Structure 1
Amino acid sequence: MHELSLCQGLVRQLEQLAADYPGKTIVRVELTIGPLAGIEPALLKHAFPIAAAASAAAEAELVITPSPITLYCEPCGLEVTARANRLICPHCGHWQTRLLSGDEMILQRIELED
């Protein structure tokens, strides 16, 4: 379960961000995670309270939004959306594609309160 170590790294990043706002606590954390990131969102949500205990994010709600898999097709020059098990261009059927998104975990936003 590498999701716990990912959460620990996330909490370190949240602590650094919260240090700029003394006296405030983190109440909401928003992430975007692609299906090719190798991260199980349910396990990440389960591990987050464990990693965040005794931190500025201890009471924070973790919100995860999935991101689409986006490819650039070299032959037809289009940006297309694909499925995880089918990384070919749905327009022309070619396999010469380049991954543009879908393998990321991005901290989109945090909310702080007094």
Structure 2
Amino acid sequence: MHELAIAQGILELALNTATSHGAGKITGIRVLTGELTGIVPESLEFGFAALAEGTMAAGACLSVRIVPLTGRCRDCGDERRVDKYRFICAACGSYAIEIVSGRELKVESVEVE
């Protein structure tokens, strides 16, 4: 369950951000994660809630947005969602697909009081 380690990193980042801005409480955190990361949002939220207990992030809402896996064909330039991890261009049949999105993992915002 790599979500717990990721939740720990998110919590540390949020706590550092809130402290550096003189905040007293973290009310919400928005996270952007790519489909390719394999993160299960519910597991991430559960792990975060457990780790946040007793900190200024206790009770904070962790909002996770999944970015679809998208690829671009290096041969014909066609860009579209990659379904079922099949890296084959639907337009020309090429296997020369580069990932455009779907690997992201970042904290978009930390809401504080």
TM-score (norm 2): 0.88
Once the two structures are overlaid, the 10-residue window that deviates more, 15-24 or 55-64, is 15-24
Percent identity between matched residues is 32
Amino acid at match of 1:4: L
Gaps of 5+ in 1: none
Which stretch shifts more, 84-93 or 27-36?
84-93
Once the two structures are superposed, the pairs formed by residues 47-66 of structure 1 within 5 Å of their partners are 47-66=47-66
Counterparts of 2:92 and 2:24 in 1: how far apart (Å)? 52
| Count of aligned pairs | 113
- Which residue of 2 is the match for residue 112 of structure 1? 112
| Residues 84, 110 of structure 1: alpha-carbon distance in 2 compared, 3 angstrom cutoff | farther
Match for residue 86 of structure 1? 86
**What is the aligned partner in structure 1 of residue 40 from structure 2?**
40
Secondary structure of 2:111's aligned partner: strand
1:75 Cα shift?
Answer: 0.5
Q: Give the distance between the partners of 1:84 and 1:20, measured in 2 at CA.
A: 42
Alignment partner, residue 100 of structure 1? 100
Q: CA deviation at 1:12?
A: 0.7
- Structure with more helix by fraction: 2
User: CA shift at 1:31, angstroms?
Assistant: 0.9
